[in-house]
Amino acid sequence: MGLDISVLVVDWERVGGFAPGERWERLTDAAYPDGCEGVFEAGLPDGWVRFPGEVAEWSALYEFHSTSGSFKAHFWAGQRWEDVREQAVPGLRAALDVFLSGLFWDPYDMAVPPAGTGADAPGVRELFAGRGTGPLVACPPETVPVLAAAWAVAEPLLGGLEGPHTAHADAPGRWIANHEEFVVLLREWAEVVREARARGWGIIGLPF
């Protein structure tokens, strides 16, 4: 068994309005509310789970079709980027550094401009103050346009990464085995960012 991730776009102000001790539980309920099992059985052609009821007013769950819910795919996508980023053209490298570090990639000691995301970012610390375990992904609404802008630069340049990925980062039989799987996962994250930006909401990744 490994770590799973459940990604929500959320109305940040609405979540902040919940009592501090209730926020995590309310987010958990928003990801998998009681009595909504049939929603998953109906199929998710675009990845978005449309729960009925009150949770739909302030949240929406995205189901990654390429990961079976496992966080491992996201972790290994970050590793593949580590393997190939020095071979990327400068524009793509800078843009994906911002996009991925704003979501799931830990840039370690690299000089990546802070995007104001992550469990310790301003606005996130206050939201989950007092909780030992924070979210795997946390992007307040004001950081989402930064990620969207980075993706707009990166997307048309991704094709040029195929050769370097084949040479330096392919891992047949493992998570994110090749360039195609890397791009598929990034496009799914871009859909999450697009939806969050359209609504003026933030992004939360819960460790389930």
Q: Give pLDDT, residue 123.
A: 83
pLDDT digits (tens, 9 = 90+) for 113-132: 556 888 888 888 888 887 76
**pLDDT greater than 90 at residue 206:** yes
**Three-state SS at 10:** strand
Tell me if 82 sits within 8 A of 104, measured CB to CB: no
Prediction pTM value: 0.92
State both tokens at 83.
């393997």
- Phi-psi domain of 116 (left: phi exceeds 0; alpha: psi -120 through 50; beta: other): left
**pLDDT greater than 50 at residue 1:** no
Q: Distance between CA 162 and CA 172 in Å, rounded?
A: 15
Q: Give pLDDT, residue 122.
A: 82
134 or 37, which is more confident: 134
| Pure H helices in the chain | 12-17, 23-31, 37-41, 72-84, 90-101, 124-127, 144-154, 162-168, 179-199
Q: Give pLDDT, residue 112.
A: 61
**pLDDT greater than 80 at residue 57:** yes
Q: Distance between CA 202 and CA 9 in Å, rounded?
A: 6
